[in-house]
Amino acid sequence: MITITAIIRVRAGAADAMLDALAEVADYVRSEEPTTVGFFVSRDLETPCIFTTYERFIDRAAMDLHNSSETVARFFAKATPLLEGPVVLHSCEELIAVARQETNSR
């Protein structure tokens, strides 16, 4: 399994717009990317202008397909003016996973 963790910091007043942009990506992943097995968006409890995404792909080809999609390109076009600093990306090989049934909050 290949994963990406992204840390996204947005400027003050831009959190709702960022959440909407991330939700569009999540909707696309849900309906169009069966090889993306997880797409999670979180917001920092103390600093609501910091978001984290955690993405899980069956392999590198699935990750590349996601990253090269028009939806991801549209996301970055919308997100770039909202950012306060660069998006920090970590692409990794998943070594240990514990999964339980989850609830869908959005």
Report how far residue 24's alpha carbon sits from residue 91's, in angstroms, rounded to the nearest whole number: 22
Tens digits of residue pLDDT in 9-31: 999 999 999 999 999 999 999 99
Residue 101 covered by a domain: no
Q: How confident is the model at residue 38 (pLDDT cuts 50, 70, 90)?
A: very high
CA angle 31, 102, 20 (to 5 degrees): 50
Residue 105 covered by a domain: no
Count the domains in the chain. Answer: 1
The distance of Cα 50 from the centroid of its chain, to the nearest Å, equals: 12
Task: Count CA atoms within 13 Å of residue 82 on its CB side.
Answer: 22
Domain containing residue 28:
2-93
Residue 44 covered by a domain: yes
At 75 the pLDDT is 96
CATH number for the domain including 67? 3.30.70.100
